A = this chain, B = another copy of it.
Amino acid sequence: MVSTDMLNNNLKIVFEEIKQLIGGRFTTSIGIRETHGRDESYHEAFLPDAVAFVNSTEEVSSILKICYQYSIPVIPFGAGTSLEGHIAAVRGGISIDLSNLNNIIQVNFEDLDCRVMAGVTRNQLNNYLRDQGLFFPIDPGANATLGGMVATRASGTTAVKYGTMKDNVLSLKVVLADGRVIETSKRARKSSAGYDLTRLFVGSEGTLGVITEITIKLFGIPETKSVASCVFPNIENAINSVIEVIQLGVPIARIEFADEVQIEAINKFEGSSYDVLPTLWIEFHGSENSVKEQSEIVHKITEAYKGSSFKWTSKLEEYNKLWKARHNAAYAAVALRPGCGIWATDVCVPISKLADCILETKKQIQNSTIPAPIVGHVGDGNFHVCFVVDPKNSAEISEVKKINEDLVFRAIEMDGTCTGEHGIGYGKVEYLLKEHGDITVDVMKSIKFSLDPKNIMNPGKIFRN
């Protein structure tokens, strides 16, 4: 252990050395530290001691060498859209802001892949690709950086067809804790050459190194996109039709669920008049014939589960309207209680348990006065209860904490996970232990300390350590 005095002294030295390296792009301004200490969640902010805006992998490497020498924590920062306090500087240290690393380095059209710097955002990339008829499908909602999406193993609405970040990264350039730089893989579509370091860094939340470049898979923009919506008399029927759609292998691109509370919130927010019932929104990608055939199959299945008001369209205007309603879900929820924030739960369970998991949770929510609409990426068994809480009301926070914890334990009991896509950050450290048990988490820690023996990389995340 390094003493506090020595740490303060070390910090001064580190400040000086980094300043010499990047000049005015190193700052201790309180305003900038504040925007780097809190993500989009309800979690308490922890300000870094300073922020370094880096322009290259080499700069990241130099800064890490300095921080490693003096045992100063380093927290990689992308767009700050994480939801479990991932970027909070719980032990102080230097926030490395990667937003200047925003070049799209190379698009390999024939290979359907591209290489980007870690600070490129999802929207930036898709705007760039559109003219070439390509897109990157992973859509977590927020306009996150690709680096952040890799670090949290993000997914979202399209995972049912395109997988999560783990399925779409071919290779990473990573700066290790001691400043060494590695490339995790070549650009081949598959390889059996040694340990899968790519997948080890995907979801490592900045605790193993700083990701600076990313090679990802791309997809051709589908010839036709169409959407359908359908309402159900109850949640079981909605979920059972999802199970059947997936079992039949219908290659749906998205299948999203919203409960009646969420629909009511959207109606209020948009002035719309959707049926206030459990609802599915489904997207199809493919040729014109294929999307038509897919939607006909889905229509038949939903009818068998008493689904009604089935609407199907390939018209862009209606397509956009429907997904706008879905994307407005969170804003619509917040609008239920102006001035309040969202606490989004994130369990994911085997789909056979999904209806039970949602229903038991709803039963518990009914005794609460806190608004709690539910949306779900139900094709994967993942759903979010979006509690609209007053962060200053400690009784409310305790109440939601309890409901969230019960939900997490319920999901784990059902062979599910405490986090489908948001990650552990510092908000779910105890739940990670509950989910995996001590020995498995010890294995993770062994790996962590083999690569970062001084624990400078985003300490306090994933593990309390």
Verify B183–A423 contact, CB threshold 8 A: no
Please tell me the number of chain A residues within 8 Å of chain B, measured between CB atoms.
92
Contact of A415 with B187 in the complex, beta carbons under 8 Å = yes
Q: Is A360 an interface residue (CB 8 A)?
A: no
How distant is the Cα of A447 from the Cα of B452 in the complex, in angstroms? 11
In the complex, which residue of chain B has the Cβ closest to the Cβ of A219? B249
Are the C-beta atoms of A439 and B180 separated by less than 8 Å?
yes
* Residue of chain B at shortest CB distance from A423: B192
Task: Give A251 Cβ to nearest chain B Cβ, in Å.
Answer: 7
B186 touching A417, Cβ below 8 Å: yes
- The answer, yes or no, to whether A422 is at the interface (CB within 8 Å) is yes
Q: Does A51 count as interface, using CB distance less than 8 angstroms?
A: no
Question: B residues within 8 A CB of A462?
Answer: 194-195
What does the 1/0 interface line of A183-222 toward B look like (CB < 8 Å)? 1111111111111110110111000000000000001101
Contact indicator B193/A435 (Cβ below 8 Å): yes
What's the least CB distance linking A370 to chain B, in Å?
25
Residues in B with CB closer than 8 Å to A418 are: 193
Chain B nearest CB from A242 CB (Å) reads: 11
Q: How far is the CB of A302 from chain B (nearest CB, A)?
A: 17
Q: Taking the nearest CB of chain B, how far is it from the CB of A184, in angstroms? A: 7
Tell me if A226 counts as interface (CB < 8 A to partner B). Answer: no
Q: Which stretch (A20-28, A319-327, A348-356) binds chain B?
A: A348-356
Asked whether A441 is an interface residue with its Cβ less than 8 Å from the other chain, the reply is yes
Indicate which residue in B152, B287, B448 contacts A293 across the interface (CB closer than 8 Å): B287
CB neighbours (8 Å) of A112 from chain B are 246-247
Within 8 A of B (CB), among A276-296: 286-287, 289-290, 293
Cross-chain contact B196 with A203 (CB below 8 angstroms): yes
* Oligomer: number of copies: 2
**Is A444 at the interface (CB under 8 A from chain B)?**
yes
Q: Chain B contacts of A287 at CB under 8 A? A: 293, 297
A193 in complex: contacting residue of B176, B187, B247, B432, CB < 8 Å: B432
The closest CB in chain B to the CB of A153 belongs to B192
Q: Which of B222, B249, B422 contacts A222 (CB 8 A)?
A: B249
Q: Which residues on B sit within 8 Å (CB–CB) of A188?
A: 348-350, 380-382, 411, 415-417, 420
Cβ of B195 and Cβ of A348 under 8 Å apart? Answer: no
Cα separation A197 to B445 with both chains bound (whole Å): 11
With CB as the reference atom, state the residue of chain B lying closest to A382: B190
What residues of B have a CB within 8 angstroms of the CB of A351 in the complex?
110-111, 189
Residues A351-368 near B (CB distance < 8 A): 351-352
How would residues 386 to 410 of chain A score, 1 for a CB under 8 Å from any chain B CB and 0 otherwise?
Answer: 0000000000000000000000000
The answer for the CA separation of A376 and B85 in the assembled complex, in Å, is 47
* CB <8 Å contact, A439 and B182: yes
- A49 to B202 alpha-carbon distance, docked (Å): 40
Contact: B166 with A417, CB < 8 Å? Answer: no
Q: Is A440 an interface residue (CB 8 A)?
A: yes
Chain B, residue nearest A428 (CB) = B193
Query: Which of B164, B181, B194 is the one whose CB lies under 8 Å from A439?
Result: B181
Q: Let me know if A458 is at the binding interface, CB within 8 A.
A: no
Interface presence of A301 (CB below 8 A): no
Asked if A90 is an interface residue, CB under 8 A from chain B, the answer is no
CA distance A258 to B110 in the complex (A): 21
A247 CA to B113 CA, complexed, in Å: 11
Q: Are A420 and B348 in contact (CB under 8 A)?
A: no
Q: How far is the CA of A418 from the CA of B290 in the complex (A)?
A: 38
Within 8 A of B (CB), among A135-171: 152-155, 159, 163-164, 166-167
6 extra interface residue pairs, beta carbon distance < 8 Å, beyond A188-B415, A188-B417, A192-B203: A110-B351, A182-B440, A186-B435, A191-B348, A191-B417, A193-B431
